[in-house]
């Protein structure tokens, strides 16, 4: 069993499309780096960089998956898009709270965010990890199965 906060690559996550698999692996690697940065108390030094890296890769990755889904007429395209939008909106909301804490620490009423940034970063990580694993095992799996018959 994987420790809480870590995601391990499994062969059943493979899409059959090298670019998508490499992006998935990179996203997992970034999530795990974020976990270790929090565990090793390197929050201020590394968390922002990793969050921005994750932001870039998830945006690029979602565009790639949606491009394949649209090009080949994936019948569950709307569900794929909704799932990506859910993650994007949740992630952006949590990220904005984390960044706001750094820019305006004195104006926050929440001791949790202000005084425990590591715990808040772990919460962000938990949401991202949970969504990622669920997403790759459900809608992504359906997309990859659909695409295998067409590529």
Tell which residue, 1, 19, 125, 122, has the closest CA to residue 10.
1
Q: Is the pTM of this model over 0.85?
A: no
**Please, is 145 exposed, middle or buried when counting C-beta atoms within 10 Å of its C-beta (0-12, 13-18, 19+)?**
exposed
Residue 151 above 90 pLDDT? no
- The CATH architecture to which 17-148 belongs is Up-down Bundle (1.20)
Of the candidate ranges 5-14, 19-28, 44-53, 65-74, the one whose mean pLDDT is the lowest: 44-53
Q: What is the mean pLDDT of the chain?
A: 82
Give pLDDT tens digits for 56-111: 777 899 999 999 999 999 999 999 999 999 888 877 877 776 665 555 555 555 54
């Amino acid at each position: 069993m994987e420790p809480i906060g870590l995601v391990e690559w499994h062969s059943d996550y493979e899409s059959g499309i090298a670019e998508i698999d490499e992006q998935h692996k990179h996203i997992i690697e970034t999530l795990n780096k974020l976990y270790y940065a929090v565990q090793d108390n390197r929050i201020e030094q590394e968390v922002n960089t990793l969050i921005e890296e994750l932001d870039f890769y998830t945006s690029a990755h979602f565009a790639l998956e949606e491009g394949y889904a649209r090009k080949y007429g994936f019948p569950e395209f709307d569900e794929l898009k909704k799932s990506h939008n859910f993650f994007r909106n949740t992630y952006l909301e949590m990220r904005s709270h984390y960044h706001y804490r750094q820019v305006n620490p004195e104006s926050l009423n929440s001791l949790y965010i202000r005084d425990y940034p590591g715990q808040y970063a772990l919460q962000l990580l938990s949401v991202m990890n949970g969504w990622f694993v669920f997403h790759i095992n459900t809608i992504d799996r359906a997309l990859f199965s659909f695409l295998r018959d067409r590529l």
